[in-house]
Chain A
């Protein structure tokens, strides 16, 4: 009889233990669900994945200016993202006019600018004001770049500008080229809009022409594209020549059929005439 009691007691204990385990599991599961839910409520940092280039204060506009980019600045077409904060309370400014004035001061004392794409909208896109700058040369012994960001803060109606020092690197493979054709000077930058990989790669060519001291999108050009593998002496099929889409941007497709070193040939045409041949190397890993 005693044995039976002991047995029953053990059974109860086991039962209790089991009940506790189930309770624990349920609690853990609930906690996980709660965590998962709260996770989704947090808005991700809009600058996630970007690199901070510089910051400063646009004094008159009572705004703090931050400049972000996908990578450190280089000679070529850079996508920039401007983030504005109220300098008093730190709140983000989501409505503003933003204008960029890059300026290279040469050692000779001369200075010049470069092609710019100001943010199209006054309203920030996910707290960011996207813009573009095609730096025409690297900073270094030749001179230095400053990026002047002018802000018309719609939150308070005030205007001011920040003068930011920026450093522009010389990329290993050139990412833009300027050339003169006839009377005109052109600035042509190019970039892969996604991560470069084996397969089909969307390719963006950005073209500007210089008129006086101003740079305007060149919308009347045509491009021919031909990738080549120098060590194999072959190309790739079914590439799509870049076609003008908007504000001097030409979209095409470049196909890489394997990893390795590729040379992309880019011909620039105006009125069906070849005005410039360009090429750049890229290593696909």
Chain B
């Protein structure tokens, strides 16, 4: 069996190389040994959009069907899955839970991953994302590039890039070192950007950033067993947030994981994987770079997560294949705020009181192959959470608002999903999903303390008495495959009882100078989300391809008011020409106007936009060098999307140049 595995791995790396060479506008190919049709489609899209070698993870994410980004700055954008974000979705790294340490959501954990670290991204929507934890909105799992056992002792790449709008540069390098039974990889990536120039010529102040990312991995194989260890360090500093009143001095993430895999452990059990991990995020916000500040303040935050999981698959018994995952994690957070008045002593409070949450869960999935054309997948998850607010100042201050229970509080969350995959004909596959999911309120929604939201100008206060948010979701996807065209059309509907939403509390005065009031999280009776995506990949000629991704989400609360931060209909269409060593792309990113806005959240209507980009890649085969050039926002359009906080303009005309060398 080990031989087969090794062969597969070798095959994979050869494939990787083969694919790498054929397409000069794509980096490492993101295909796994076992490829499902939907996965293949996603991978194709992901690879296609990795065209721009200076692309951040966010650039790639933004082009995935059903995924949008909330933008607060040039860096640190927050993923949104079909209108849901934050605690409504799971964002995991190789199955590991990780939580940002910023009370203002400036550090969704996606920012700590560079495209160089990444092998593939797996997105599941709605309660279907329950494999990684109880959820209502889905799961975004980022799989890190593992060391590859390869016949080649050493291979890798190094590149350097420049972009004009922010006078920014990036440099990266990654390599893989392999022996017979062990392999190691490492990558390093550095980015620096200054304040960028928006369309029309205005300089967006406080939009600079700088970061360094470093990852190493090791893999040791013996017989049926594989031991793998990973470490990732990411430091970002001097990160400006033009849409917020504060910037980030330091955002520091550390990840460590050791996993053990046994291909066949028992007659019945296979692919058993156990992983133990620890990660920490340290995040400091301050306004020392800002002028006209009423009072200077520092806001450091810390979040650590340790956990483990075991997953595996039972050998098919008849038409059933059972797989499972059992996981546990413990997340500890503390966020503080120190204010320095001109006269008088400094003031201190805990914006996230020191608190812990541990969650133990079990997930079971039965894959029932009813017939050659029909497959039924049933899955269920049960999570038990133990939440504690630790004694001390943080607890004392929250007692001003609530009678807090002594000791821990316990909650359980359940989810059940049913998926049917029906092969309609050789070219059509129909996927139907229906499911129920619950999610725990986040620690921020539970214990958050005067968290200022620049968007609506309110201080937010948590509510320890929140109920679980629930979701009944259904979605249908019709996939079409032919020699020339791959297309997918999805529609979804989601009814969410006990939707967690902050409502204004008139009787509480705000803390932040200049704030409009205070909002407290409540369960509103329900919210509804609906929408869909259409993706088309067409091979027009042997050299010409077109990819078009459209997405739309509609959201309203129980009384019909639009939910905030819902993107309007948006589309990205790319035309790609591949001529031997030359690849050319012409791209249009567009969005319709958003008139369904939530005014109490501070939203206003967003106009429609369309932006054109052109990219060019050239492979110097003799020197194994690739040159990438990009010309983004060609017409220097001054624009922003509905998901951009504070209507901060996006970068204007931007010239990109990247040179990459493979070795």
Q: Which residues of A pack against B, CB within 8 Å?
A: 197-200, 229-238, 255-261, 283, 285
Contact = CB atoms under 8 A, between A and B. Distances in A.
B33 interface: no
Given A238-B401, A260-B339, A232 B295 contact: yes
Contact of A260 (B348, B400, B450): B348
B120 to A, nearest CB: 45
Contacts of B405: none
Contacts of B342: 231
Given A199-B393, A260-B344, 7 more contacts: A197-B396, A198-B349, A232-B347, A234-B511, A258-B347, A258-B397, A259-B347
Contact of B400 (A200, A232, A261, A283): A200
Contacts of B450: 257
A231 B339 CA distance: 10
Nearest to A199: B396
B559 interface: no
A101 B395 CA distance: 44
12 contacts: A199-B398, A231-B343, A234-B511, A237-B509, A257-B349, A257-B511, A259-B345, A260-B344, A260-B345, A261-B347, A283-B345, A285-B345
Range for the number of chain B residues in contact with chain A = 20 to 34
A259 B348 contact: yes
Contacts, number: 77
B483 interface: no
B345 A199 contact: no
A229 B349 CA distance: 13
B407 interface: no
A198 B393 contact: yes
Given A199-B393, A232-B339, A232-B513, A237 B349 contact: no
Interface in B385-412: 393, 395-401
A236 B508 CA distance: 8
A238 B348 contact: no
Contacts of A234: 509-511
Interface pairs A-B: 9 shortest CB-CB: A199-B396, A260-B347, A258-B349, A231-B341, A255-B400, A259-B348, A261-B344, A237-B508, A198-B397
Contacts of A237: 400-401, 507-509
Nearest to A236: B400
Nearest to A228: B509
B295 to A, nearest CB: 7
Contacts of B349: 198, 257-259
B341 A260 contact: yes
Nearest to B400: A255
Interface in B301-357: 337, 339, 341-349
A257 B508 CA distance: 12
A229 B345 CA distance: 11
- Give the most central of A236, A238, A255, A260: most B CB within 10 Å: A260
A232 B511 CA distance: 7
A199 B397 contact: yes
B414 to A, nearest CB: 35
Nearest to B518: A237
Contacts of A283: 345
A235 B508 CA distance: 9
Nearest to B337: A258
A73 to B, nearest CB: 27
A247 B508 CA distance: 33
B150 to A, nearest CB: 55
Contacts of B345: 259-261, 283, 285
B348 A232 contact: no
Nearest to B511: A234
Contact of A258 (B344, B348, B509): B348
Contacts of B508: 237
A235 B510 CA distance: 8
B344 A235 contact: no
A200 B396 contact: yes
B346 A260 contact: yes
Nearest to A238: B400
Nearest to A233: B513
Nearest to A230: B344
A238 B393 CA distance: 17
A69 to B, nearest CB: 27
Contacts of A236: 400
Contacts of A233: 513
B399 A229 contact: no
Contacts of B295: 231-232
